[in-house]
Structure 1
Amino acid sequence: MLRQKHPCDMKSKTNSTEEVYNVKRTPSSPQGGPKKRSAFVDLTNQKTKTQTVIQTKNGKTVVDKASNRKEVIRTHSIQKDCKDFFAEDQPKKAVFKAEEFPVDCLSVCQPDEQSKLQRRKVCVAQVPEEFDVDKEHIGDCLLSPEYAKDIFDYLKNREENFLLSDYMHKQPDLTQDMRGILVDWMVEVQENFEMNHETLYLAVKITDHYLSVDVVMRESLQLIGSTAMLIAAKFEERCPPSVDDFLYICDDAYKRRELLVMERNILQALNFDINIPVSYRFLRRYAKVAHVNMETLTLARYVCELSLLELELVSERASRLACACLLLALITKDLGGWTPVLQYHSGYALADLSCLVRRLYAMLASPSNDKLNAVDNKYSHRVFFEVAKIPLVNIDTLEEALTVL
């Protein structure tokens, strides 16, 4: 069972891959059927006071707020007013004619096609025509193509506020292996609750930032990981799991109050700024720029998610890590190298990525740890195109692709 696994427990996992993927998991509580979230109670079930309308002798109506009767007394005068309101002889709503509006208002409220095209040209003029990968989505408000590049440029600039370094020397009671076991367990939590991948990446980022500023004991490590998942789920999910769900997957090792106190401590340590750029968002953007298929994107996602286990990669910028993962996937699938359009949208040249790509290749080539197999098991399933089983590209082919001018 997932709930029996603890980051400080070095025993190998007993679950088989088939049990993980053959069981349909739901975001509801693992304890049983769907559980009603306390944060989403039906507000229409709230008790409301009944107001009673009574008629005085002079024919006026007043509201009796002190009355507790459930029925509302509808007087003859009120019924008459209702009949008069729906009478056919009542005046119709005023209909405004277009010519009554000033010309300037009409140009704003009802723009013609020419003005629409002019505004679109102004919005996308900053991107060269040969590098404009969003022009096909112009007019789709859900994708926001006019602002796509600006959004990711903004996220790339925000990375300056969240730079990390190897913090493990500040943690006398923790080791690199303990962090790896925790992240491996967080991958299983994300998978079993069927949460977004952004939630996992953000939770790992929150955990690393908290561990970099506060000294913790190993007994609290799983509590920190669970609380980070809760915070990330609140930020990313439409219907996040409840506090009780996270207490359950920790095998009730912690109390509700402990988790809530840890949530406050983490938020205060991060100054309540949890909008941390994550590599998964950049990876999807750059994959769209490269026009790769879903299998190639999934291969890059596998490499990117596997890098979450590596402590030495926490110092890498999310945007640069996403570029390196995509480039390694492109070389593995023999789809070319780093193109000018990728360099334009990412801001990284091939020389900026070569060293990191080699580090990721060495990570994939190293023997896998039997205790940290959640990512491998996840991406060995056919839902993810079994990309974890794809053989590594030849080292000579890799070096050739990284040295092409």
Structure 2
Amino acid sequence: MLKKLDDNVKDQNSNNMPFPRGKKPISSKIPKLNTKGLENQDGPQTKRSSSSPQGAPKKRTAFVDITNAISQCFLAPQFIADDVKPAHKIELCNPIKKDPIKKLQKKASVLAKNDGTLKKSAVVSLEEQLQELKNVELPVEKPVEPCSKASLPPHLLPPQIPPEFDIDSEHLSDSTHAPEYAKDIFDYLKSREEKFVLHDYMANQTNLNRNMRAILVDWLVEVQENFELNHETLYLAVKMTDHYLAVTQAKRDSLQLIGSTAMLIASKFEERAPPCVDDFLYICDDAYKRSQLITMEISILQALKFDINIPVPYRFLRRYAKCVNAGMDTLTLARFICELSLLEMEFVPVRASLLASACLLIALVTKDLGGWSACLQFHSGYNGEDLAPVVRKLHHMLSSPPDSKLAIIRSKYAHEVFFEVALIPTVNLQKLEGFLK
């Protein structure tokens, strides 16, 4: 039987389980499926040992070596007649690629060998032809001159960046930063936000509520930490979960399946070595079958029309922090605020670039590093007044007493690795208001 989630989200006893890839166990707060009460569709299901999960499925060759098979077939004795012998050796060549000099040389040698009475004049004639070919001067190709900026259409011209706002020229020698295209890339991501604007869909979910979603996101943060995945993977998984729930009615017992499948898809998109299906079945305590997870993966991709390149706040946050040369402690504080916002349903409709800007502004004011500078306004497209509504909501979130049931993010950023930014007192609202005008 499935464990029910009350609307008030009562405490659930979490089962500590060994975790193969991370450093500490995951205590899932999402309801688990009891396999005894399920109809066994995929045959008997066995529990993994507590030492480690099953590895990836065994690889098998998809195609046999048909080349060897065909060769053996044609070289078999029953296919070769005793009295059949190859009459001629056929050579295929491309006459276009034939060197004319070598061709004439070969012709001269053949004539001299087979015909002992070859006239001297014919040999001289061939030698003269060879000499003429050698003296032929090939036309020299002129280098292609690059097109001037005046001849390019407007949409192909590079963006005009004032020197005081240029944050990419220092990385011109480093191709990994793509300095020539960085501004265009983030302008493109910002334009794509229009396609992925969400609304508060929870009113249409009859079997779910905000607390259930918050518990799921809190569990996904723990999965990301234990798997040591990129932060972009976490943000993308939450985004895909929200987009799927916005168009599909979901049940309580499938919420963890939706979240873990979204994390699997995000890992395939963002990670170099994503966890396999068995890893995600293991972290769900084998509450779901492989066929269920694969079916959910197909369902999510079809609901999103296979367009999973969703702009996430974390990408914009790193870009905007570069505009003010923010230190790692300041960026980590902004990341902490941004990650906390994933738990709150009211930030689901907020654009990723706007949310990242508001989180960075609070971090800058907290660290006494000034407000929203002209460089930030140029690269983000927002001014202080645009950020004011989101900044006030974020400040209210930080000032509210923390929920003991959703403590993963705060405990994560209270570690010294993250500069203990979760322990920093929240900045005064009046001080924030002074930078919003």
TM-score bracket relative to the smaller structure:
0.7 to 0.9
**Paired residue type of 1:11:** D
For residues 310-357 of structure 1, the C-alpha deviation after alignment (integer angstroms, 9 at most, x for no partner) is 001100000000000000000000000000000000000111001211
RMSD (Å) for aligned C-alpha atoms:
3.5
Aligned position for 1:319: 353
SS at 2:434 equivalent: helix
Matched, 1:375 2:409: yes
Q: Distance in 2 between matches of 1:266 and 1:163?
A: 17
Q: Distance in 2 between matches of 1:215 and 1:264?
A: 16
Alpha-carbon deviation of 1:13? 6.9
2:199 to 165, 180, 196: 165
Q: Distance in 2 between matches of 1:193 and 1:220?
A: 22
Matched, 1:261 2:330: no
Q: Distance in 1 between matches of 2:174 and 2:15?
A: 44
Aligned position for 1:252: 286
Alpha-carbon deviation of 1:140? 2.3
1:201/1:336 Cα in 2 relative to 1: closer, same or farther (>3 Å)? same
Alpha-carbon deviation of 1:15? 9.2
Report how many aligned residue pairs link the two structures: 344
1:248/1:34 Cα in 2 relative to 1: closer, same or farther (>3 Å)? closer
SS at 1:145 equivalent: coil
1:199/1:125 Cα in 2 relative to 1: closer, same or farther (>3 Å)? closer
Aligned position for 1:225: 259
Runs of 5+ consecutive residues of structure 1 not aligned to the other structure? 53-62, 69-90, 92-98, 109-114
Q: Distance in 2 between matches of 1:290 and 1:30?
A: 51
Matched, 1:145 2:179: yes
Runs of 5+ consecutive residues of structure 2 not aligned to the other structure? 26-47, 77-101, 103-137
TM score, norm. by length of structure 2: 0.71
Alpha-carbon deviation of 1:232? 0.8
Does structure 2 conserve the Cα–Cα contact (< 8 Å) formed by 1:7 and 1:178?
Answer: yes
The residue correspondences of 1:154-193 to structure 2 (distance < 5 A) are 154-193=188-227
The residue correspondences of 1:3-402 to structure 2 (distance < 5 A) are 10-11=10-11, 23=23, 37-38=56-57, 48=65, 51=68, 64-65=72-73, 102-104=141-143, 126-402=160-436
Of structures 1 and 2, the larger Rg is shown by: 2
Sequence identity (%): 57
Alpha-carbon deviation of 1:248? 1.0
Q: Distance in 1 between matches of 2:318 and 2:276?
A: 28
Does structure 1 conserve the Cα–Cα contact (< 8 Å) formed by 2:208 and 2:252?
Answer: yes
Q: Distance in 2 between matches of 1:361 and 1:13?
A: 32
Aligned position for 2:29: none
Q: Distance in 2 between matches of 1:253 and 1:371?
A: 22
Q: Distance in 2 between matches of 1:34 and 1:377?
A: 27
For residues 278-318 of structure 1, the C-alpha deviation after alignment (integer angstroms, 9 at most, x for no partner) is 00000011011111011100000000000000001100000
TM score, norm. by length of structure 1: 0.76
